[in-house]
């Protein structure tokens, strides 16, 4: 008998799951229901997939459960609404697969943790960075003690003028919807470090600013609200730089509506939401630049930064331990988005404390997010690999810890004080 899935939120992110259910895993899995606040999204999904899945409005979760009896729900709505459906599913003892971030603030985290404690169902949070082959190899090196006891992580992330700007065109630019980039984006990175260290974060101090976007942005052609990219392409350097990028660069699932103007208009005609709003609007209320210092209960520390308007996309990460150091760097976007020749496959530099540096190359079999997505999907739809010693499968506790670092950083930026994670729980 096939496992039955309800898809809650027919977004670009949901396609990472629905495409595989309808493809690789169609013999064991099936979609039995769609739920979304926008009926056109569901109708278009059925049209594209030549399907007739029953469709439900955003407030019809209970009816959907009663009529279709899903075994699991896939949640890929806007971040601030994840908790509504996670809690409702857990109360019905239905397994949850939720996009990251699991939710957006400490109050919603508490609601999910309380519901999970009372439920027979499980929560899977799709922190796919753990499944990137390079990241998995680093975790294996840490478990093997290659650098001794990890002491400090230095993580610097760079969003380019294509991807970074996209967050400020969409709902993510509002703190109430996304929890800010500290949650909607950086939770990816916080979870990765939490997993590497196998320690819990205890205290966060942060600074943040809005430097590139909003009306004061240096490249704002005119201080005027309510514009859309589709109406002023030739005036904006951000648009001009990447106007043809989607034709030759890597596909970005977050920009599916913007890269397809027809769908952007179709869906926006229902609810007024368009994914190409102006990055210089005055109502943007979140930061595009921030730095954090994080303490962990095992004695380790992390220094983290993110800039959301950089000439190239990627990151640099280093882990210092009592017996050595691990380094890696990655560049994303390919030739269309990199202002220099693509360095190629990512590798790891391992530097023992008293020996020469070793370069470690990692086999990557391809797939989204550096080869992570197909590996995560295999664990979701077939069950986790019993031989995996790294513990890549993220649950609600992991999801909570990643969100709480971002929530604590938000509070620290606003108060100018260090924030203790335990004060939230």
DSSP 58-120: TT-HHHHHHHH--SEEEE-S-GGGHHHHHHHHHHTT-EEEEPSSS-SSHHHHHHHHHHHHH-S
DSSP for 396-413, please give it: HHHHHHHHHHHHHHHHHH
- Cis status of the peptide bond prior to 101, with omega within 30 of 0: yes
**What is the reported pTM?**
0.94
The answer on pLDDT for 233 being more than 80 is: no
What does the alpha-carbon distance between residue 36 and residue 23 come to, in Å, rounded to a whole number? 22
> Do both 296 and 166 map to the same domain?
yes
The answer on pLDDT for 259 being more than 60 is: no
Q: What is the pLDDT of residue 6?
A: 99
Q: Would you say residue 385 lies in a domain?
A: no
CB 145 within 8 A of CB 323: yes
Q: Which of 84, 101, 128 is the last residue of a domain?
A: 128
> Do both 59 and 150 map to the same domain?
no
If phi over 0 gives left and psi between -120 and 50 gives alpha, with beta otherwise, what is residue 402?
alpha
Q: What is the pLDDT of residue 358?
A: 98
CB 343 within 8 A of CB 102: no
The percent of residues above 70 in pLDDT, for the chain, comes to 95
Q: Which of 50-64, 209-223, 264-278 has the lowest mean pLDDT?
A: 264-278
49 DSSP 8-state letter: H
Instruction: Note the pLDDT tens digit of each residue in 361-420.
Output: 998 877 777 778 889 999 999 998 888 999 999 999 999 999 999 999 999 999 999 999
pLDDT band for position 252 (50/70/90)? Answer: very low
> Do both 90 and 151 map to the same domain?
no
> Do both 26 and 169 map to the same domain?
no
The answer on pLDDT for 234 being more than 90 is: no
CB 418 within 8 A of CB 412: yes
The answer on pLDDT for 256 being more than 60 is: no
> Do both 8 and 78 map to the same domain?
yes
Supply the CATH number for residue 37's domain.
3.40.50.720
Instruction: Note the pLDDT tens digit of each residue in 318-345.
Output: 999 999 999 999 999 888 899 999 998 8
Q: What is the pLDDT of residue 139?
A: 99
Count the domains in the chain. 2
> Which is nearest to 372 in space by CA: 249, 192, 158, 245?
192
pLDDT band for position 229 (50/70/90)? Answer: confident
> Do both 124 and 156 map to the same domain?
no
Q: Which of 128, 162, 195 is the last residue of a domain?
A: 128
Q: Would you say residue 101 lies in a domain?
A: yes
Count H helices, E strands: the chain? 16, 15
Question: Would you call 219 helix, strand, or coil by DSSP?
Answer: coil
| Residue 347 bridge partners (DSSP) | 361
> Which is nearest to 71 in space by CA: 42, 96, 106?
96
Domain membership of residue 38 as a residue range: 3-128
| Residue 291 bridge partners (DSSP) | 207, 305
> Do both 16 and 153 map to the same domain?
no
Q: Would you say residue 106 lies in a domain?
A: yes
Q: Would you say residue 373 lies in a domain?
A: no
CA-based radius of gyration for the chain: 21
> Do both 143 and 255 map to the same domain?
yes
Q: Which of 74, 106, 128 is the last residue of a domain?
A: 128
pLDDT band for position 231 (50/70/90)? Answer: confident
pLDDT band for position 22 (50/70/90)? Answer: very high
Supply the CATH number for residue 312's domain.
3.30.360.10
Residues 6+ apart with CB under 8 A from 359: 347, 348, 349, 350
Q: What is the pLDDT of residue 113?
A: 98
Q: Would you say residue 65 lies in a domain?
A: yes
Q: Would you say residue 85 lies in a domain?
A: yes
Q: Would you say residue 349 lies in a domain?
A: yes
Q: Would you say residue 387 lies in a domain?
A: no
Q: Which of 98-107, 212-221, 242-251 has the lowest mean pLDDT?
A: 242-251
> Do both 332 and 189 map to the same domain?
yes
What does the alpha-carbon distance between residue 7 and residue 17 come to, in Å, rounded to a whole number? 9
Residues 6+ apart with CB under 8 A from 358: 349, 350, 351, 352
> Do both 101 and 182 map to the same domain?
no
> Do both 196 and 325 map to the same domain?
yes
> Do both 191 and 312 map to the same domain?
yes
CA distance to 31, 89, 189, 220, per residue, from 70 (Å) = 9, 10, 31, 48
Q: What is the pLDDT of residue 424?
A: 81
């Amino acid at each position: 008998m096939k496992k039955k899935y309800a898809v809650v939120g027919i977004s670009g992110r949901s396609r990472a799951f629905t495409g595989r259910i309808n493809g690789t895993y169609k013999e064991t899995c099936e979609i039995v229901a769609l739920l979304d606040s926008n009926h056109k999204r569901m109708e278009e999904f059925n049209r594209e997939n030549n399907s007739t899945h029953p469709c439900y409005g955003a407030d019809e979760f209970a009816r959907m459960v009663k009529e279709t009896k899903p075994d699991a729900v896939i949640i890929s709505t806007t971040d601030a609404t994840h908790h509504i459906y996670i809690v409702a599913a857990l109360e019905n003892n239905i397994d949850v697969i939720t996009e990251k971030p699991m939710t957006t603030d400490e109050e919603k985290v508490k609601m999910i943790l309380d519901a999970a404690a009372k439920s027979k169902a499980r929560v899977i949070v799709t922190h796919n960075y753990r499944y990137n082959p390079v990241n998995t190899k680093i975790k294996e090196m840490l478990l093997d003690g290659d650098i001794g006891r990890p002491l400090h992580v230095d993580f610097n992330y760079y969003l380019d003028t294509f991807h970074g700007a996209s967050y400020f065109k969409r709902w993510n630019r509002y703190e109430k919807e996304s929890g800010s980039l500290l949650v909607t984006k950086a939770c990816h990175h916080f979870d990765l470090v939490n997993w590497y260290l196998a320690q819990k974060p205890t205290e966060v101090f942060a600074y943040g600013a809005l430097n590139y976007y909003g009306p004061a942005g240096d490249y704002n052609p005119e201080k005027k609200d309510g514009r859309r990219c589709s109406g002023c392409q030739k005036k904006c350097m951000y648009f001009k730089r990447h106007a043809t990028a989607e034709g030759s660069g890597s596909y970005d699932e977050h920009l599916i509506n913007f890269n397809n103007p027809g769908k952007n208009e179709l869906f926006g005609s229902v609810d007024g939401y368009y994914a190409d709003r102006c990055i210089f609007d005055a109502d943007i209320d979140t930061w595009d630049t921030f730095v954090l210092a994080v303490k962990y209960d095992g004695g380790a520390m992390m220094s983290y930064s993110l800039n959301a308007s950089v000439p190239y996309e990627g990151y640099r990460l280093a882990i210092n331990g009592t017996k050595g150091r691990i380094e890696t760097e990655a560049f994303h976007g390919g030739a269309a988005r990199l202002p220099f020749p693509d360095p190629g496959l990512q590798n790891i530099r391992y530097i023992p404390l008293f020996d020469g540096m070793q370069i470690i190359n990692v086999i990557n079999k391809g797939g989204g997010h550096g080869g992570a997505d197909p590996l995560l999907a295999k664990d979701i739809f077939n069950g986790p690999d019993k031989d995996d010693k790294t513990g890549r499968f993220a649950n609600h506790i992991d999801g909570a810890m990643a969100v709480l670092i971002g929530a604590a950083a938000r509070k620290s930026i606003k108060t100018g004080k260090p924030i203790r994670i335990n004060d939230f729980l």
